[in-house]
Amino acid sequence: GESVGLHLPTLSVQEGDNSIINCAYSNSASDYFIWYKQESGKGPQFIIDIRSNMDKRQGQRVTVLLNKTVKHLSLQIAATQPGDSAVYFCAESLTNAGKSTFGDGTTLTVKP
């Protein structure tokens, strides 16, 4: 069978390493997905999004991968920096639903 990354509530990486944060979503009909970053004491902040007609999208130092077969989303952060330390949430939504459902967060800690 296909190997799928597990969601971890916490992830600790060394500065400069690559980070991979995983998320399993619940609704097979969801067609829009977003990753948010939430720093301590702040609201979530948009990082990157992907629509269901794509399986990969790249931003600056970040890549999102979507596997609809197993309802899995991942966020890859290249050359992780101390400023990347935060809680990361994935969110799924349906076109015309007007709202998103957040998945469980992953707390990323970057060690200098």
Binding site for another protein (CB under 8 A): 31-32, 34, 36, 41-46, 49, 89, 93-105, 107
How many CB atoms sit inside 10 A of residue 27's CB? Answer: 12
Phi, psi of 84 (to 5 degrees): -85, -10
For another protein, the closer CB: 84 or 105: 105
For another protein, the closer CB: 41 or 112: 41
* Shortest Å, Cβ 1 to another protein: 28
Contact between 67 and 4 (Cβ < 8 Å): yes
* Shortest Å, Cβ 97 to another protein: 7
* Shortest Å, Cβ 18 to another protein: 24
Helix, strand, coil percent content, the chain, rounded in steps of 5: 5, 50, 45
